């Protein structure tokens, strides 16, 4: 056999009729080759594992009013769904800068977008945090539009090795960029009981923050460290053992969702990064430039709302969304992850410059 010929790699074998673990789901690892199967999953109102469905696409395009020749930024590239819609609209003569910190998913998304025919003259992709958007504007000039989708991508949630979901066993990591910072398991070791309680309240409005913080602190400081998603889930379940049986399971589910979210926000310093991003927007937008931000958490939405309103009162933004825009009922039925989304937009003062 010629050494230069590609080697055939057998897919992971699995027991039973259907694959169960993420590693066994060969179709989800190569969705482009199984489009019909992926569509069946979508028609059931689900998102195929390993993929992501962009949310509020129509609403975002209406808010940004992207047009041929525009130059702008997709500050959170993810799977590239929003970027594809933008790229369709900025030609001829437009340019999109797409940013993401995820060192694992970014190369895969870039490969998909390049395969669609979007070369470097149209699409510039950078692995960087959107808090550095001023660096992009220094290269591109004033921006006609900026989009930021603050949600975690479905690929990250569905990959057990990333540790984003309490539903699957994996290392308690939660880092958006797995090459930087401390994983959540290590981050927890540096928190005392009071710090953890405050974190759960501030980052997720967790009503059982005290009980969960006490349980986590007791487990760690008896030498039984929390290293995996299931260990944290079980610790939360133990902490809520005082609840009546008829409401306990539902409360455990909700507290797991909130606690994992709170830890993820802290591990990735997400609120600080968002504040830095919001502060830079007036300086990178062209006169008449538009920004749209999609949030999935009350703490994020509060920051966006406050920043937009303060800059509107100061005369920097000439118009802001009076209320958050929600995904349509139809979209929420077909994609449950859209139900918590809130979209806000703002327009910088001055006449548009193209």
Half-sphere exposure of 143 (CA within 13 A, CB side): 28
- CB neighbours of 158 closer than 8 A, spacing ≥ 6? 22, 28, 49, 50, 165
In a domain, 260, yes or no: yes
pLDDT reported for residue 61: 97
The pLDDT tens digits of the residues spanning 331-347 come to 999 888 899 999 999 99
Q: Are residues 87 and 226 in the same domain?
A: no
Q: Are residues 141 and 277 in the same domain?
A: yes
For the whole prediction, is pTM greater than 0.75? yes
- CB neighbours of 35 closer than 8 A, spacing ≥ 6? none
In a domain, 160, yes or no: no
Instruction: State the total domains in the chain.
Output: 2
- Residue 241 belongs to domain spanning: 178-267
pLDDT reported for residue 26: 42
Helix, strand, coil percentages for the chain (3-state, nearest 5) = 50, 15, 40
Q: Are residues 79 and 145 in the same domain?
A: yes
Q: Are residues 184 and 219 in the same domain?
A: yes
pLDDT reported for residue 232: 97
The pLDDT tens digits of the residues spanning 244-260 come to 999 999 999 999 999 99
Q: What is the DSSP letter of 151?
A: S
Q: Are residues 196 and 183 in the same domain?
A: yes
* Residue where a domain stops, chosen among 206, 233, 267: 267
Q: Are residues 148 and 277 in the same domain?
A: yes
Q: Are residues 288 and 341 in the same domain?
A: yes
Q: Are residues 282 and 145 in the same domain?
A: yes
Q: Are residues 133 and 202 in the same domain?
A: no
**DSSP strand pairing (285-295 vs 317-320):** unpaired
The residue with greater pLDDT, 94 or 19, is 94
Q: Are residues 247 and 279 in the same domain?
A: no
Say if CB 299 and CB 203 are below 8 A apart.
yes
Q: Are residues 258 and 284 in the same domain?
A: no
Describe the crossing of helices 270-284 and 245-267 by its angle, rounded to 10 degrees: 50
In a domain, 173, yes or no: no
Average pLDDT over residues 181-194: 94
Q: Are residues 280 and 256 in the same domain?
A: no
In a domain, 209, yes or no: yes
In a domain, 339, yes or no: yes
């Amino acid at each position: 056999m010629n050494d230069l010929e590609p080697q055939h790699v057998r897919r992971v074998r699995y027991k039973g009729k259907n694959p169960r673990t993420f590693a066994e789901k060969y179709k989800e690892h190569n969705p482009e080759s199984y489009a019909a199967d992926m569509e069946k999953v979508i028609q059931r109102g689900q998102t195929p594992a390993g993929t992501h469905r962009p949310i509020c696409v129509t609403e975002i395009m209406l808010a940004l009013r992207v047009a041929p020749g525009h130059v702008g930024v997709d500050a959170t590239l993810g799977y590239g769904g929003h970027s594809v819609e933008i790229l369709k609209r900025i030609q001829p003569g437009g340019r999109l800068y797409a940013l993401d910190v995820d060192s694992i998913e970014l190369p895969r998304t870039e490969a998909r977008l390049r395969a669609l025919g979007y070369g470097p003259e149209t699409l510039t992709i950078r692995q960087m945090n959107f808090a550095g958007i001023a660096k992009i504007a220094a290269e591109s000039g004033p921006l006609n539009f900026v989009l930021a989708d603050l949600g975690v991508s479905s690929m990250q949630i569905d990959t057990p090795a990333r540790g984003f979901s309490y539903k699957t066993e994996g290392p308690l990591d939660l880092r958006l960029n797995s090459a930087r910072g401390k994983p959540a398991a290590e981050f927890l070791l540096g928190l005392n009981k009071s710090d953890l309680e405050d974190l759960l309240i501030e980052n997720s409005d967790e009503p059982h923050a005290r009980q969960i913080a006490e349980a986590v602190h007791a487990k760690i400081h008896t030498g039984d460290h929390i290293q995996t998603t299931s260990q944290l889930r079980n610790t939360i379940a133990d902490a809520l053992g005082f609840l009546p049986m008829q409401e306990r399971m539902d409360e455990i589910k909700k507290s797991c969702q909130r606690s994992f979210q709170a830890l993820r926000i802290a591990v990735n310093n997400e609120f600080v990064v968002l504040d830095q991003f919001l502060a830079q927007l007036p300086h990178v937008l062209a006169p008449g430039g538009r920004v749209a931000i999609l949030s999935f958490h009350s703490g994020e939405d509060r920051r966006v709302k406050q920043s937009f309103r303060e800059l509107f009162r100061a005369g920097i933004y000439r118009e802001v969304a009076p209320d958050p825009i929600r995904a349509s009922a139809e979209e929420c039925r077909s994609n449950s992850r859209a139900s918590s989304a809130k979209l806000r937009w703002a327009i910088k003062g001055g006449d548009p410059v193209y």
